[in-house]
Every structure is written in C-alpha cells, then in structure tokens.
Amino acid sequence: GGSASSGAAGAGARELDADLGGGADAAIASSSSSSSASLDALDADALADAMRPVAAVADLKGEVIAIAADSWITTAGLMYVIEYFHLAHGMEWYAAIAAATCVMRVCAFPLTIMQQKSAGKMHLAKPEMTALQESINEARRAGEHERAARLGNEVFAIWSKHDVHPAKMLAPLLFQAPVFISFYFAISRMAEGLPSMRDGGFAWFQDLSIADPTFALPIISSLTFLAAVEFAPQNPAVKSSQREMTKWGLRALGVAMVPLTASFPSGVFVYWITSNVFSFAQTVLLRVPFAKRAMGIPEDPPPSKVSMSVTSAGTKIEKMFGVKPEMHKGNPKLKLRKKRTNDEDTLE
C-alpha cells in the first residue's frame, strides 16, 4: 500500500512539473515572439525613416530629370546634387545651391593645397633655375647649341629634386573651370525650367529665376570677389610686376562684373557669392603660418645675399650713370685724345 501511494505521489509530482515546465516554456516562447515582433516593428520603422528621403527623391526627381536629360553630364550631375539637398534635407533652393557649392569647393580644396605646395617648391627651386637659364643663354650666345640642349634637359632634374612640376599648379583650374561653367548652366536652366525656383529664394530675392531688380546681388558678388582677390596668397615664383599686373586685371574684372552680369538670374549669384566667400575664407586660412605648416606648404625663403648685392650694385650704377645711361658710338677716350692733339696743333 505504501509503495502504491508513493508511486502515485511521484507520478503526480512529475505531472505537476510537466505542467509547470510546459507553462514556463509557453511563457518564454510568448515573450520571445513578442520581443521579436517589437524588434521587427522597430527595425521596420527605422528602415522606413531612413528610406523616406530616398523615396521622396525617387518620387520628386522628375522635376529636374525633365530638363537634365538634354544637358551636359556635368551640368546634369550638378542639377541632381542641388536637388538632393532640396528634397532629401528639405532646404529651400537658395540653401540647396549654397550647400552644393560648399561641397564642391571642399572637394577641390586638396587641389588648392597641392597648388600652394607646388608654388612654394617652385620658389625654392628658382635660384637653381635662374642659374641654369643663364648658362643656357651663354651657351646659345657662344653658338654651343648641343651644350644648351644638354643644359635644358637639366630642368627636369631640378624639378625632380624639389618634387615639383608646373602642371600641378594648373590642377585646381582644370577642376574648377568646368565646375564653374557647369554650375552657371545648371542654375540657369533650373531657373528657367523649374516653377518652384520662383519662390525658392530668401529675403529680397524670393524669385531665383529672375534678375535682382535692386542690383544688390551683383554688387555683393563683385565685393566678395574683390575681397578674395586682395587677400589671395601671392605666388612667390612669379615676378612682383606680373603679380601686380594680374591683380589689377582681376580688380577691373570685379568692377566690370556688375553691369555685365546684372541680368543673370538671382540663383546664379547665390552660387557666386557662396563661392567667393569660401575663397575668401580659404585665402585667409592659407595666410596663417600654423595652417601652412600643417598642410605642408613651404614657407617663403628670406631674400638671399646674392640678390641683395646685385640690387645694391645696380643702385650704385644708377647713381653714377643714371637710370638710362647714354651709349657712345665710339670710344670716348680716343675722341678725347684726338681733341687734345688738335688743340696742341692749334697752339703750335
């Protein structure tokens, strides 16, 4: 009897454990399934939030694609870049143009640093280049053309020694010139073909598709251009007279830009002003010695003693003979000797 009752008790305990275990497993399964469902819901919401800008661009990109189809590839690409900031980030058209401009200028900044490095290295190599050029000229005057050609090949050795090449100084121009032209055509075509550009401006220039009737944008564009010109870092490898001539030419261009561009759409001036302000900030940065050292731009070397001695010698010659000394057709000593002989004959 005792064994039967103990067996029954054991069976009941096992059934109770089975019921409790089954309930726990069911609770765990239910909890994991609900957690998984909530995580799936969160993932779906996050994915939806992340894809919302992409979906917006996909739905609304037809506004630009209609006018970008028959444009240059660079012009069409800039249209899509500007529209990306407008649609994906909810910017007004003027802000989207400014943002796209800053992105392009930041991408071109490494090329500007490379240009400044090349200019500094060219200045360091200038004494050797000057001496080599004098040797080449002497060989040519002496009729030693083979020696002159051999010396001419040493130019490449000097460039290799200083790790410099004139082509590197043209890199920013080769990048910025097509971008500058493409930006103009992109914004002009968008101003003409997108109705939303008519109220995408700011302050007094709400309509980006027409010219600024107040002429404020052309004037601001010219002033910011002139500021960038005045603060632009000087290329030490270029003669001071050439630098000054170039600067005066750019000054004249900045003044002439006002009447020449006054009829352009306001959206174009948003690009120009943003680019000019970026150039001004860039030139100010490149004047800071710490920033130049951090970027690896060589410092301008001090004037050499040779150049100072040549200058002082030239000054002494000018004091003795004038700035433009007169050249005698014959030997002045022979003329003086003949004059003395004639005077003696007259006395006799």
Residue 284, in any domain of the structure: yes
Counting the structural domains of the chain, the total is 1
Is 11 within a domain? no
The answer to whether the CB of 265 falls within 8 A of the CB of 209 is yes
Residue 41's pLDDT band (boundaries 50, 70, 90)?
low
Within a domain: 27 = no
Q: Could you count the other beta carbons within 10 Å of the beta carbon of residue 226?
A: 18
Cα 280 to Cα 346: distance, rounded to the nearest angstrom = 79
Identify any residues that bridge with 202 across adjacent strands, giving them in sequence order: 205
pLDDT computed for residue 259 by the predictor: 94
* pLDDT band, very low/low/confident/very high, at 299 (cuts 50, 70, 90): confident
Alpha-carbon distances of 211 from 71, 191, 192, 253, rounded to whole Å: 23, 11, 12, 20
Rounded alpha-carbon distances, angstroms, from residue 150 to 139, 144, 178: 10, 10, 38
Residues 6+ apart with CB under 8 A from 286: 112, 116, 233, 292, 297
In a domain, 346, yes or no: no
Instruction: Return the higher-pLDDT residue of 28 and 72.
Output: 72
pLDDT grade, residue 261 (50/70/90)? Answer: very high
- According to DSSP H, which parts of the chain are helical? 2-60, 62-68, 73-88, 93-141, 145-162, 171-193, 216-230, 240-261, 266-286, 289-295, 305-321, 332-347
User: How much of the chain, in percent, has pLDDT values that exceed 90?
Assistant: 31
**Does residue 215 lie within any of the structural domains?**
yes
Contact 99, 91 (CB under 8 A): yes
**What's the token pair of residue 77?**
């690409």
Q: Is residue 18 part of a domain?
A: no
What does the pLDDT read at residue 55? 52
Asked if residue 340 is part of any domain, the answer here is no
Tell me the H-state helices in 142-170: 145-162
What confidence score (pLDDT) does residue 104 get?
A: 93
Does some domain include residue 331?
no
Residue 189 has pLDDT above 90, yes or no: yes
Across 10-14, 43-47, 121-125, 304-308, the highest mean pLDDT is recorded for 121-125
pTM: 0.65
| Residue 76 CB burial class (10 angstroms; 0-12, 13-18, ≥19) | buried
Distance, in Å, from the CA atom of 252 to the CA atom of 246, rounded to the nearest integer, reads 10
Q: Identify whether the C-beta of residue 308 lies closer than 8 Å to the C-beta of residue 252.
A: no
Residues 71-100 have pLDDT tens digits of 889 999 999 999 999 999 999 999 999 999
For the chain, the straight-line distance linking the first and the last C-alpha, in angstroms and rounded, comes to: 181
Higher pLDDT, 123 or 40: 123
What is the rounded radius of gyration, in angstroms, for the C-alpha atoms of the chain?
39
Range of the structural domain that residue 242 is part of:
51-303
